[in-house]
Amino acid sequence: MRVNEIFYSLQGEGRYTGTPAVFLRLSGCNTRCPFCDTQHFSYTEMTEEAIVEAVSHYPTRHIVITGGEPTMQLTATLCQLLHREGFFIQIETNGSLALPHGCDVDWITCSPKDLELRIQRIDELKVLYPNDDMQRFEAINAKERRLQPLDTGNELTTNENVKATIDYILEHPIWNLSLQTHKILNVR
């Protein structure tokens, strides 16, 4: 597999905010989002066994498989090996690809882009705000819904997005707020 990086930190977003987690960032993506804040194209080739060995050295058994787009490389075998080691598997996906056959994933966080959704289920829908197509997102079946203010890199604009996100949630209470707490806390 093409692994961009493996690191240990706190989950900074969504339902599992604050949870110690091993992050397995896979290389590559099928979209080119202009707001993407992740450098995920460099990689080291690793076997699934080497990945499991590397992530098992950390004291947590919560793994977040992300990218890029993790469903481009995720396999049933990797999921089986991780579960055998006691891992809770969370993926962060754009949802444009189906979960590969046999992949037993415990939690799917989906942040849709402008592509058709093909993921089989969505546990947590995470949408960046402001967004012009909120009706589309409100029609998606998901266990939980989160709006996350778009971080533009400009403090004034980002603060305006935070206020607009809060206002939207107060008017549409099917949504909950998700902040990028890892950025707020300056944690990786």
**CB atoms < 10 A from the CB of 103, how many?**
20
Catalytic residue among 7, 36, 77, 167: 36
Which of 7, 31, 38, 133 is flagged as catalytic? 38
Distances (CA, A) of 174 to 23, 138, 147, 169: 29, 8, 10, 7
CA-wise closest residue to 78 among 43, 104, 109: 104
Residue 23 annotated as catalytic: yes
77 is known as an active-site residue: no
Active-site hit among 40, 69, 71, 92: 92
Q: Let me know if 53 is a catalytic residue.
A: no
Joined tokens for residue 109? 């966080």
133 annotated active-site: no
The yes-or-no answer on residue 103 being catalytic is no
Which letter does DSSP use for residue 101 in this model? T
Among 33, 53, 114, 167, the active-site one is 33
Active site residue 79: no
Residue 29's SS3 state is: coil
- Catalytic, out of 17, 48, 138, 182: 182
Q: Please name the residues in contact with 19: beta carbons below 8 A apart, sequence gap of 6 or more.
A: 10, 11, 60, 62
Identified catalytic residue from 13, 23, 124, 165: 23
- Residues marked as catalytic: 23, 29, 33, 36-38, 92, 182
